[in-house]
Structure 1
Amino acid sequence: MVLISGLVLTLGLLAELAHADSNAQICLAKKNVPAIYPGSSAFVQAAETYNLRLQYTPAVVVNATTIQHISDAIVCADQNGLKVQAKSGGHSYASFSSGGKDGSMIINLENFNDISKSQNPSGVAVGAGVRVGNLALKLWEMGDLAVPHGTCPGIGVGGHFTHGGFGHTSRYWGLALDSVLAVDVVLPNGSYITADDKHYADIFWAARGAADSFGIATTFYLTTFNAPPSLVQFYYSFPIVWDNETIFADSLMHIQGFSQNASVVDSRLGFEIYIDSTYAFNIVGTFIGDMNEWTQKISLELLRGLPDFLEQNVTSMNYIESLISLADGESLQQPLHGYNLHENFFTKSITVPENSPVLHSTWMNYYNYIKNNTIGLQNGKWFSTIGLSGGPGSSVNGRNTTFAAYSDRSSLFVLQHNGIAASPTQSFPSSLQGFIQGMNDAIVKAQPETDFGASLVSADPSLSPEEAHELYYGKEVYARLLELKKEVDPKIIFWNPQAIGVGADINGYTTLNRRIEEDPCVECPCDSLNGPCQCVPNGCCCTKAERIAMEWNALERRAEALQADPCVECPCDGLNGPCTCVANGCCCTKAELQAMEALDRRTEQTQEDPCIECPCDGLNGPCSCVPNGCCCTRAEELAAEKAAMEKRTKEDPCVECPCDSLNGPCQCVPNGCCCTRAEELAFENAKEKRMEE
């Protein structure tokens, strides 16, 4: 019986989703919004994720070419219960740019790929669909200009410039999002704004750190920098570091100390340590200065406390040559359409506080975990980076959380642990995911007193919403974001599994326990309608009079709706275009017309007995009728409702209980019903589950 009920519920939800998708398709078609749906030849590529480990099937992919397309699409999604996410480059590690679940609306921004000079003399306007490799080349063509960004040419501006955007020049110029002067955004209600620090300042603040929870960013107005005429690109290889735990830990402690040494390190230096499953230990980076200063001062101090390197490559080059070198063989020039690079991976990250760096014993623990567990890995490989973020002069740490909704402003290093399957199409090895989790744990659990965080740009789908919010934003930033979410997007239209508001008290579905503790009767449907609700220790019961009042309010709301829209009761209203109304109701499709025949028959009966439709007919004497219907006194209406309710409750005394049939027979009392707390919770949880699905 339970299995059958569950199957019926599941099929019902699937039918509802299919109906919502169909209605969304009708809505988009009416508004001439270009869209691709499952089953079409173009859908597979449009929906395919960068991370093939996490693949989802959207309900629709909107290929917007105008702001109006985006606005209309969001409105259609709202009207039909679809969640929305933007896709600019599609490089979300957790596939959030594909919704993070099946059945979302994805708004593809690849057509927003213009780059032009803005009104600000030192600024540019950049479309959200531009990939950073193309951005770098275009800025270089504009006169050796640059902005800070990461090293992967294929990532999109839309996601990169709203979630951090760290690269080798970030300690010098700041994060990618720090260069944003203003941003054009389409909000959850479909409105279109330009947000900066003077106009829609809260949205501007939130867009730089959490834009995917508040709207669709379409154009970024960036401040640019003059690219350095020359810089030093360096690479050193130290495989001997892996010989034993002491050398490994000593080397990392030296690099850690070097990174905080203001006598040799300033904002011009950026580097990362690269280690992998072949036991590589490389230092790769950029120094914005001349070769003499690097060789005579900075490199001397860096290399002083390390074993002899096996290889080195230190070269002076211009800025664009440096980007090509850091791209690891990938071309800076990226296709405007048809991007087709994919991986199959799992990533976790750690941000290391500047005031509480990693201990020597923790680095040893990290080494031993890797050495003891790498050998058993099959069908995959791993690599990790330890990037310098803070230290003397860092522009990343030169700002705080009042500037933008980005909390990682006090880290020394950012560690990123990556597991990659041997083949993009194979199932991801569970042992490899466990190994990556263990790499994180080897550091975090070894220093429980340290307030480690996680990198916002390296979305980790294994985190719960609460864990993600705490690690990415911290309590204060998240609290401010949540309040803004309640104001701007209370329906949580912009959703992914870790979006602002997911798992929080935003729609009232997840706070039943707290509400009941404050007011045991708050869940009673009649609460506050006719005085205090009659409560008992384990729940509440409404008097019959309170139930009648509740149903009367519903009747009044229905009458108001009919007055505002005479066709609101038509079964076809809104389904097949505007309803065509006639004197006796409305005309729709053949099936819908058949449904209307019953109403016609009732109309004929009403002509014979004008009061047959009056709820009070025959209850309290002759009904006082008027030509277009009937008028009942308030007492007669209540009496009619009372009679109907008595008939219902006579057949099933608990039929009016909200928990009836959820947890067995409802516990009834003479004047109504009482639901146990467990039954109330089950009732709410069933609603919440349906909403989430």
Structure 2
Amino acid sequence: MFFLQILVFIASSISSVSADLKENLKLAGVRSVFPGDQNYASASKAYNLRFTFSPAAVTFPTTPGQVASVVKAAHNDNYNVVPRGGGHSYVANGLGGKTGSVVVDMSSMKAMKFFITTNTAVIETGNRLGDVALALNAVGRALPHGTCAQVGIGGHTAFGGYGFTSRQWGLALDPIFAINAVLADGTIVRATKASHPDLFWSLKGAAPSFAITTSIEVNTFAAPSYATVIKYVWKDMDSTTAGKSMFSFQEFSLSGPAAPFAGELLLTRGSKNGSVTFGFVGAWYGAKGSAIPTMQPWLDKMPRPSTSELIGNGSYIDSVAHLSGTPLNTPSAPLTTDTFYAKSLMTPEKDPMTLEACTSFMEYLSTKGFSSKTDWFAQVELYGGPNSKIREFANDATSFLRRDTLFTFQLYASSSTHKPPYPEEGFSFLDGMADSVTLKMHSGWNYGAYPNYIDERLHNWQLRYFGANYRRLQSIKDKLDPHNIFMFPQSIELTKKVTSPEPTPIFVQDSDQDSFDISTT
């Protein structure tokens, strides 16, 4: 009987906490969805169907003040809080990465404002990359960002944000000069390098561990006057030739191709054991007619391709659309899901891969990849080289660490149907794919991993994602979020308990600048 009374007490306590949370969110006027509600299943559905988490609530604030109300309500009831932008976290961290968190879904905050006199913009973090690209292009401007239109700009900039224009403009987080955010105690702040410098530094590489970003303020770039997409495919390349081809691409990249050149190797299953489909997808943002001459030193070392083409009408936004694969106007596109596992490697420019490592990688893809029951691909993205803007920043300039990267690998394997269940073989297959490179390099090889391709099974993730920046991140976490409200798997860990930070004045938008709304929805 006593045990039953304890169970009843625990259940009633959980129920009362949930009731308090519901009441507080209702009083704040924040639209919220709770377990048992009719639309809870869709509101709590992960992009990666390998994960099924049950948030305590999914909230849909419309203003920074409402975001602050959500954080305060959750804080008072001892819930963890996570932001969700596009919802494409590879491990469903936008749902908390576990059951029982409060989700701050930013999809109702999509305002964008462009300032004519400074060519800057304020972009709320409910926007997705395709919509940002369209809105900025309408005023002749652009930002560096990834190719997938449906990805949310909040999460994308939170952990780096690589795209094909990054070699000339930097990562997506680099043009940001101010970040408007809500801290763990509900305080609304505007962080810059001069004001709240520690917070600003942390938000540029590890944002969700420290605050809910409501909008970013960015310097924009003139949209290129000419752009084209480049595609080459070499079908059924044998592993030895593929290893040499990858190594020669590394040599070409280290030679410093012009910054308007960007791209990645795209590797998929060959049609027979011992072969791979070796592809290159890239873009050129320089003078018309200069794309192939820029690539020619590498092409001269390659076999004749199976197919080659330049794609597009020459406009920048057309190249963005071709690279995306889904409509840039994201509300017009159906929501997609997948069931997958992903890993990443970031190779140091000053310690590049050996030919042996390149060949080992291709041997693995051509044999284990051929027999794998998963639907897989591997991308080798060109970050660095002497002309890359990414490497112009020091590794400790922002909390995003790996500025000295030459290539970032994305290793990705879906279930054969792209639906659950996910096969156990998929995990060991990708582990072996990464090992085929790292185990062929020397024991001190300082490779990294890309937190936007987050891997919940990654050992020593603190080193691979954040390296020498991790200790500073922990120190700042102690000060700004001592109760670990913004906690999810692989969030920055606390080192000690400290008192809550002093409140910071609320940011008020400067109304003197000439500006206009460029929101697409």
Global fold match (TM > 0.5): yes
How many angstroms apart in 2 are the aligned matches of 1:16 and 1:430?
A: 38
Q: Does 1:34 align with 2:31?
A: yes
Distance 1:169 1:371 in 2: 31
- Return the letter of the residue paired with 1:478: Y
| Contact 1:414–1:455 (CA under 8 A) maintained in structure 2 | yes
Q: Following TM superposition, by how much is the alpha carbon of 1:298 offset from its aligned partner in structure 2, in angstroms?
A: 1.6
How far apart are residue 22 of structure 1 and its match?
2.9
Query: Is contact 2:240–2:362 with CA below 8 Å preserved after alignment?
Result: no
Confirm whether residue 394 of structure 1 aligns to residue 388 of structure 2.
Answer: yes
> Which TM-score applies when normalising by structure 1?
0.68
What's the counterpart of residue 24 of structure 1? 21
Q: Deviations over 1:525-550 (max 9, x none)?
A: xxxxxxxxxxxxxxxxxxxxxxxxxx
* Whole-angstrom CA distance in 1 between matches of 2:366 and 2:167: 32
Q: Distance in 1 between matches of 2:383 and 2:370?
A: 31
- Taking the aligned partners of 2:179 and 2:348, their CA distance within structure 1 comes to 30
Mapped pair 1:506 → 2:477? no
Change (3 A) 1:31 1:298: closer
| 1:89-488 to 2 correspondences below 5 Å | 89-118=86-115, 121-142=118-139, 144-240=140-236, 242-243=237-238, 245-262=239-256, 265-278=257-270, 279-295=276-292, 297-315=293-311, 317-328=314-325, 330-335=326-331, 340-378=335-373, 380-447=374-441, 448-463=443-458, 467-474=460-467, 476-488=468-480
Deviation at residue 66 of structure 1 after TM alignment: 1.8
Deviation at 1:506, TM superposition (A): 2.9
1:323 is paired with a residue of what secondary structure?
A: helix
1:98-142 CA-to-partner distances (Å, cap 9, x unmatched) read 100000000111111011114861101111000110110111112
Instruction: Check conservation: 1:232, 1:290, Cα contact below 8 A.
Output: no
Closer, same or farther: CA 11–222 of 1 in aligned 2, 3 Å: farther
Q: Is the 8 A contact 1:232 1:289 kept in 2?
A: no
Distance 2:159 2:220 in 1: 19
How much has 1:294 moved relative to structure 2? 2.8
Q: Is the 8 A contact 1:184 1:192 kept in 2?
A: yes
> How far off its partner does 1:374 sit?
2.5
What is the RMSD computed on CA atoms of the aligned residues?
2.1
Q: Deviations over 1:392-443 (max 9, x none)?
A: 2100111123431110100100001001112343201111121011101111
Question: Deviation of residue 13 (structure 1)?
Answer: 6.3
Cα distance in 1, alignment partners of residues 6 and 317 from structure 2: 58
Instruction: Please name the residue that 2:485 is paired with.
Output: 493
State the Cα distance separating 1:200 from its structure 2 match.
1.0
Is the aligned partner of 1:55 residue 2:52? yes
Of the two, which has the highest radius of gyration?
Answer: 1
Shift of 1:19: 4.0
Q: Supply the distance in 2 between the matched residues of 1:153 and 1:194 (Cα, whole angstroms).
A: 27
Task: Give the Å deviation of 1:15.
Answer: 5.9
Deviation at 1:327, TM superposition (A): 1.0
For the Cα contact (< 8 Å) 2:269–2:366, is it kept in 1? no
1:488-637 to 2 correspondences below 5 Å = 488-501=480-493, 504-507=494-497
Aligned to 1:651: none
What do residues 542-575 of structure 1 show as CA deviations (whole Å, max 9, x unaligned)? xxxxxxxxxxxxxxxxxxxxxxxxxxxxxxxxxx
Corresponding position: 1:82 with 2:79: yes
Q: Is the contact made by 1:353 and 1:412 (CA closer than 8 Å) also made in structure 2?
A: yes
Task: Give deviations 1:343-395, integer Å, cap 9, x for gaps.
Answer: 111100000000111111112222222233234322x3100100100002100
Instruction: In structure 1, give the amino acid aligned to 2:205.
Output: G
Q: Is the 8 A contact 2:240 2:363 kept in 1?
A: no
Partner amino acid for 1:463?
L
Q: Deviations over 1:290-341 (max 9, x none)?
A: 343333x32321201111101000246110010011012x1010119x9622
The residue number in structure 1 matching 2:509 is: none
CA–CA separation in structure 2 for the residues paired with 1:477 and 1:339: 39
CA shift digits 1:9-44 (9 cap, x unpaired):
998766654443232223222333321101111211
SS at match of 2:97: coil
Could you tell me which amino acid in structure 2 is paired with residue 429 of structure 1? P
For residues 456-508 of structure 1, the C-alpha deviation after alignment (integer angstroms, 9 at most, x for no partner) is: 211111125xx22211110x31111100000000100001110011xx53349
Give the whole-Å Cα distance in 2 for the aligned partners of 1:286 and 1:9: 64
CA spacing shift, 1:12–1:456, aligned 2, 3 Å: farther
Question: In structure 2, how many angstroms separate the alpha carbons of the residues matched to 1:135 and 1:419?
Answer: 29
How far does residue 225 in structure 1 lie from its aligned partner after superposition?
A: 0.5
Distance 1:11 1:288 in 2: 65
- Secondary structure at 1:292's aligned position in 2? coil
Q: Percent identity of the aligned residues?
A: 27
- For the 8 Å contact 1:153–1:332, the answer to whether it is kept is yes
| One-letter code aligned to 2:302 | L
Does the 8 A contact of 2:478 with 2:495 survive in 1? no
Report the AA paired with residue 277 of structure 1. R
Question: Within 2, Cα distance between the matches of 1:274 and 1:13?
Answer: 53
Equivalent position amino acid for 1:304 in 2: D
Q: Which amino acid aligns with 1:505?
A: T
The CA distance in 1 between the partners of 2:9 and 2:264, in whole Å, is 52
Cα distance in structure 2, aligned partners of 1:27 and 1:138: 36
- Cross-structure match for 2:510: none
Shift, 1:8, TM fit: 10
**TM (normalized to structure 2)?**
0.90
Indicate conservation of the 8 Å contact 1:268/1:287, yes or no: yes
1:224-268: CA deviations, max 9, x gaps? 10011112321111124x32x321211111111011113xx1211
Assess if the C-alpha contact under 8 Å between 2:81 and 2:485 holds in 1.
yes
Higher relative contact order (CA 8 A, sep 6+): 2
